[in-house]
Amino acid sequence: MEIGLLFPGQGSQHIGMGRELFEAYRLARETYEDADRILGYSISDISFNGPEETLRETRNTQPALFVHSVAAFRVISELDLEFSIAAGHSLGEYSALAAAGALEFADALRLVRRRGELMHEAGLKRPGSMAAILGLSQEEVQKLCNEASKIGVVQPANLNSPSQVVISGELAAVEVAVELAQEHGAKRAVMLPVSGAFHSPLMESASVALSEMLAKTTINRANFPIVANYTALPVREPEEIRESLARQVLGAVRWEQSLRRMLSTGVEHFLEVGPGNVLKGLMRSVDKDAIVLSASTPGDIVGLVALLARR
């Protein structure tokens, strides 16, 4: 049974994530211990104990999610599974690349930490916001953004599903787009509590600095294809990986297209490797027959073992 891997991004975090894995599996414990040493502070303590406002800071959220996903992946890698393709939502793309061997754990963790810092700093330099639009097509949301762009920068940032799009840009323009969405019959159009206009041109300074760091980072050929957020196309070679990561913070996360790309390979079983089940819900909106199993707790791992025994 070939498996597709899905790695979550910001928004899936919660206090206590990873604690059960840490306590149950040596590989998970070693992953957290290595991460604490590499970072020079206890990301394990922030993940397990919070407080919430500390975990919610982008510079902590991103490494916390990354370490949890890698710890879970290392545990399931000891099972009799074959991984054929992967994708990660925004920050999750780094988790996917680490799982595929394209990035070494320490290098990826430093990149993720710096990425979070740079995105936070970019949000201070060029303040912006994001909003979720539900119930309108991607084409309709693009039209709203085109109209609101007369006020300022705003564009689709996360193309999550046929009827869920997150937009990003300057506050006034995002607010106008939300008003237009409500006028055009959106089921919901809500501002999001974020610290910046992620995946928009307002992240230009973060992209430039991240590109410089990526240029100095060793990237290996991936063991299996990773569907890049920026293009929704599979990448494996070091230079195309480097370019896609640099462009990712500026451009939209083409998640629906990424899922369809993975499904087109014939994979029917997926693992959501990391906290929550946001990606399972998004997959259901794209293909209700695709099977997505969680892989973030010891209970999930036991379930996978039982599934393998029935093959």
Residues catalogued as catalytic: 90, 199
Any residues with CB less than 8 A from the CB of 146 and at least 6 apart, and which? none
Q: How many CA atoms lie within 13 A of 66 on its CB side?
A: 32
Q: Which two tokens stand for residue 135?
A: 């119930």
The backbone region for 9, taken as left when phi is positive above 0, alpha when psi lies in -120 to 50, beta otherwise, is: beta
Residues 6+ apart with CB under 8 A from 41: none
256: number of CA atoms within 13 Å, CB side? Answer: 16
Using alpha carbons, select from 305, 309, 306, 310 the residue that is nearest to residue 79. 305
The rounded distance, in Å, linking the Cα atoms of 208 and 118 is 10
Asked if residues 310 and 303 have their Cβ atoms less than 8 Å apart, the reply is no
